[in-house]
Amino acid sequence: MQVRSVEDIGGVIRDARLRHGLTQEDLAKDAGVTARWLRAIERGKPGAEIGLILRVISRLGIEINMSDPVRRPATTNFREDEFPDIDEILGGLTP
């Protein structure tokens, strides 16, 4: 899922909390935040401290994968998630 707004982050947290069967109070206590703070985050509170958000996300087992939108030069034939095979680069040459 691509997260593009604070509302998206809040939705991910809420959905994961519900999948885990946790109340806002339970998750807040476990993550060391207040239930009021968690309710605000789930509603998309702007300006929330990222460290606290990461703590809540960690407690829910959510993984964050970030990617740089800068693409490789057009001359490369490899997908961004692949590493080039040296044999393919050298054309199967042996010394």
pLDDT at 47: 84
pLDDT digits (tens, 9 = 90+) for 44-71: 988 888 889 999 999 999 988 877 666 5
The C-alpha angle 11, 47, 9, rounded to 5 degrees, equals 15
- Count the residues in the chain: 95
Higher pLDDT: 89 or 41? It is 41
DSSP state of 50: H
Q: Kindly report which listed range (12-16, 33-37, 67-71, 81-85) carries the lowest average pLDDT score.
A: 81-85
Name the token pair of 47.
């300006």
Start-to-end C-alpha separation, the chain = 46
Name the token pair of 74.
């057009």
Q: Is the dihedral of CA 38, 40, 41, 47 positive or negative?
A: negative
Going along the chain from its start, the domains and CATH numbers come out as 6-59 (1.10.260.40)
- pLDDT of 85 higher than 80: no
Biggest CA-to-CA distance, the chain:
67
DSSP state of 60: T
The rounded percent of the chain whose pLDDT value lies above 70 is: 71
pLDDT digits (tens, 9 = 90+) for 18-36: 999 999 999 999 999 999 9
